[in-house]
Structure 1
Amino acid sequence: MLHRRRGENGPVPYRNGRFHCINQQWFFATREQRLVGPYRDQDEAQAALENWLAPAITNRINRFGS
């Protein structure tokens, strides 16, 4: 699901390039352009990314509200 970032107006822009399949193994890319993985499939990589981001999201909610 695509989400609008704070301060963005209009339709949610398409964001691509977070997930990569290399030799039938899946990775996700961080902002620092680091590939994290490998994972068996894109769903597993998606779940790992959500776990990776969870502390930052929780911290942001605690600091700024939902």
Structure 2
Amino acid sequence: MNTQVRSGEDVHIPFRSGRYFCVGRDWYFTTREGFDSGPFASRERAELGLKRFLHVIKLLPEKQKMH
């Protein structure tokens, strides 16, 4: 991975811990499959978003679920 930053570029790598991470003021959640969802206004909203996502996934027929 190239870690060089060109002059004038603002590179911000988000801090990630567990399923939730923040970029600036925006919150996101990530799934085991590597899907990131957001932005959400707060961590609490991101947690609710993940709960809703998991609920929808449980409703899908088995062959339509992400692997």
Q: Shorter-chain TM-score: what band?
A: 0.5 to 0.7
Aligned to 1:55: 56
Structure 2: tracts of 5 or more residues without a match: 1-16, 61-67
When residues 34 and 58 of structure 1 are mapped into structure 2, their CA distance, relative to the original with a 3 A threshold, is: closer
Distance between the aligned counterparts of 2:38 and 2:21, measured in 1? 10
Provide the aligned C-alpha RMSD in A: 1.9
Q: Deviation of residue 31 (structure 1)?
A: 1.1
Q: How many corresponding residue pairs?
A: 45
Runs ≥4 in structure 1, deviation > 2 angstroms?
A: 55-59
Aligned to 2:42: 41
Q: Deviation of residue 25 (structure 1)?
A: 0.3
Higher Rg: 2
Greater share of residues in helix: 1
Structure 1: tracts of 5 or more residues without a match: 1-15, 60-66
